[in-house]
Structures are given as C-alpha cells and as structure tokens.
Amino acid sequence: MKYKTNRIQGLLISTILFLFTGNCLVSDDSIKSFWESKGFQKKLLGGFAPNTKIEPAIIDPEEQIFFREVAGLIYDNRTEAIAKLEAYIKPDASAVIDYTLGSLYLQEGSFEKAGKHFDGAIKKFPDFRRAHKNRGFSLVRQQQLAKASSALTRAVELGEWDDAVFGLMGFCHLGLERYASALNAYNIAILLAPENADWKLGIIKSQVGIGNFKEALSMLDELIAKSPDNSKLWELQAGVLVQNNDLDKAVINYELLREMGKLDRKMQMFLGDLYMTLDQGGAAVPVYSQALAEANADLAKRGLRAAEAMVNQGEFSNAKNLFFKLRQIGGQAQAEELKLLRLESKVAMAEGREISAIKTLEEIVAKNPLDGDALMMIGDYHLTNDENEKAFHRYQLASGIEGFQADAQVKMGQVRVQQRKYNEAIELIRKAQELRPRDNVKRFLESIERVARQVGS
C-alpha cells in the first residue's frame, strides 16, 4: 500500500510537469498556431491605418505624403517598407511612424525590434492603445509574460475589446500560474470568439490549474467529439484523468494513442508506470519493452526502477521479462549494471536459486567492494544458513559504508543474539539506535536486555 501511495503521488507530480511543461501549455509553440492563423494575421495586417479619433495623427504634410508612400508598400513589399521607415524615423516623427515600424517587425517575427518601436510610440503618445496591444503581443512571443500581461491590461483600460487581447492575457496568466485570472480572461475571449479552439483549450488548462478537473474533462469531451483525430486532445485528456485519479480511464486514452502511433517513448514509460500503479505488471511489461526498443540511458534507468518495483511487489516473472529487455538493449553504466545484477540476485534467491544468486552477488562485490546492498544480501544468506561468522563479516563490511551503518549494526546484533552473545548484541543494537532511532529496533533491544538479565550473561 505504501508503494502504491508513493507511486500515485509520483504519477501526479509527473503529470503536473507534463501538463504544464511537457505538453507546452505555456511555451511559444502553444501560441504559434494561433499566431499564424489567417484570422490573427488579418488583424495585424489591418492594424496600420491610424484611428485619429483616439490615437495620434500625422500632422506634418511632408510626413503625411511619406506615410501614404509607405502604406502602398506595406502589403506588397514589407522589406522595402521597413527600410524606408528605418531611414525616416526620428525623435520628432509622429508616434504613428514608430507604431507602424514596430507592427511590421512584429509580422516579420523580429519581436525585440518590434517592442523597441512600440516603446518609442508609447513614449511619444502614452495612451496609444494599439501600441500597448501590439507591445503586449511582442512580449508574449518573447515569453516575457508579466510585462506582456501589463501591456495587454493597459490596452483594455484604454478601450481595447478584442478576443486576441483577452486570449493572450489568459495565456500570460496561465504561464504565471494565476489560474483564476487566466480563466476570467479566457472566458471573455471565448465570448468574443465562441468557436476559437485555442481559447477553449486555455479554459481547460485554467480549470486544471484551479483543480476543476470535471469541468476540464467535460470541455475536452466536446473538443474531442469535434476533432476525434486530434491526438493532442486525447493526450491532454489522459493527463487530466490522471490528475483526477481516474487511472483506468487514463490508460484507455494512452492505449488509444499508442495504437495511433502517437505515444512517444517517454509517455510509453509513463503508461507502464500507470499499469504498475494499477497492479497490472503483466500489462506493463510489453509497454515498457516497446519504450525500450532502442538504447536510451534515461529510459533504461526508468525501466530499471520499474523492474525494481516488480521485484519488490513479488512479480518475479514480469521482472525477469523486463530484465531480459534491459539486457537486450545494453549500454547501462556500471551503477545501473550492478543494480540490475542485484535485482536478478533477489529474484534468484526468492525462487530458491541461492547458489546462482550468491555467485552473482560475489561478482558485484568484486567489482565494487562498497556495494552495501550486495554485502547485506550476502550476509542475509549466510545468516539464514547458520553461517554466523561469515554473515557477521559481511555485515561488518557494510557497517562502514554510508547509508548502511545502522541496518548493518542491527544485523550484526542479530548474529550475536543467534550466538547467544547478548551483551555484544546489546552494544551493537544501541549503536544502531544512536545512528538512527527506530521504534521496532528499540523494542528488539529491550527484548534482548530482558533475555540477558534472565540468563545473567
């Protein structure tokens, strides 16, 4: 039960990381499809003509002529328009010139340059609404979310009422983990653009951040019904199901993705972990094996941890299948190789193949004399077979290794109890308690002290 609880906690942490980093909810990629959409690009293209009722006008007659000339190039030859504006721009030029140049750079994807010119426009005309809006857009693409949020908020204060502004404001809040604020912003965006899938996803992600998993799952059902071939939606829903502890349903989603060929090797390992959490080691093995089709150091480490979990749960047959796969891909570092040998020895011991197990453990110690696990296992074997001094010697070696001192002292004490050397045992157990106090060891020590008093030794 303790293992299962820890495993579920680990899965939840992994899923949170996956939902908020691995699945790119607040990365540049997650906004790219919206940015490149025809609707948004059309808005940018239509944003050059000055709104003289609320924004700065071009007063100078010569500048008016220049702007009309540049305006004719904006849609047909953006590069030439930028060059002309760069050559013309000056401190006393209208804020419209700065804004126009910034907007052209925004379309070109030169977000830092764009921001510089929006700043210039705002400095000349502080209430320049579209300059604040586009400055916010450029900052979003630079992942400067706090500054972007402030710029977009200022645009709204000045009267901007556009789904892109509220949607990207939600994106900023989401990245800053302000989930309630993100939800509010996305809700306004969806009112202005009811069919926008990006804003619907934003609402879902905000609901997940708040912990409203049922609402998120309900919306995902709607989106999946409209786009059943969208693997990203199935993957996102699976992650939310894990968060909601609906592990059986999450497995169905991941298996569907695996069948579609859309589940990468990391997520295949995650699916294997889910099966282990559900005590379905037999189902986990083929999934892990698929993930371990090629050598990969990080995935091999995870596979080794999965094999260890199977051994600890007594699923020796499944563990051996995973051992075989790990051996097949090879390439383990020495530490992982020794750990694999230890696990194979544990299984051999459990299955009564003690001679084989001890031979392997001795090989481990020969390669690494400071392998405390192997020394303790060899000691346990000798203790079980009444080879007390051999057991004591191995435990004694382990007692000098960091992390094993307390346990090894207890084991040495057990050997002395078996030999009826109670005073030595008491001394050893007391030392173990000093190193790491434990209630069960305390009770063991008290029982030895009682026996020692009774026999007078």
Q: Report whether pLDDT(261) > 80.
A: yes
Pure H helices in 351-387: 354-367, 372-384
- Domain residue ranges in the chain: 37-160, 369-457
Instruction: Please report, as a single letter, which amino acid is at residue 296.
Output: N
Architecture of domain 37-160: Alpha Horseshoe (1.25)
Q: Check residue 13 and give its pLDDT.
A: 45
pLDDT band at residue 4, thresholds of 50, 70 and 90? low
Q: Report whether pLDDT(37) > 50.
A: yes
Rounded Cα distance, 14 and 368, in Å: 33
The secondary structure element, H or E, covering residue 104 is: helix 95-108
Q: Check residue 297 and give its pLDDT.
A: 79
Q: Check residue 336 and give its pLDDT.
A: 85
pLDDT digits over 187-241, tens only?
A: 999 999 999 999 999 999 999 999 999 999 999 999 999 999 999 999 999 999 9
Predicted structure pTM score: 0.74
Q: Check residue 432 and give its pLDDT.
A: 93
Q: Check residue 443 and give its pLDDT.
A: 94
Sign of torsion over alpha carbons 305, 310, 311, 313: positive
Burial of residue 330 (number of CB atoms within 10 Å: 0-12, 13-18, 19+): exposed
Chain position carrying tokens 């001094």: 389
CA angle 98–101–103, rounded 5-degree value = 105
Burial of residue 319 (number of CB atoms within 10 Å: 0-12, 13-18, 19+): buried
Mean pLDDT, the chain, rounded, equals 88
Would you give the distance in Å from CA 167 to the centre of its chain?
24
The secondary structure element, H or E, covering residue 332 is: none
369-457 under CATH 1.25.40.10, yes or no: yes
Answer yes or no: same fold for 37-160 and 369-457: yes
245-256 mean pLDDT: 95
pLDDT band at residue 18, thresholds of 50, 70 and 90? very low
Q: What percent of the chain clears pLDDT 70, i.e. is strictly above it?
A: 89
Q: Check residue 248 and give its pLDDT.
A: 95
Nearest partner of 374 among 353, 389, 392, 359, judged by Cα: 359
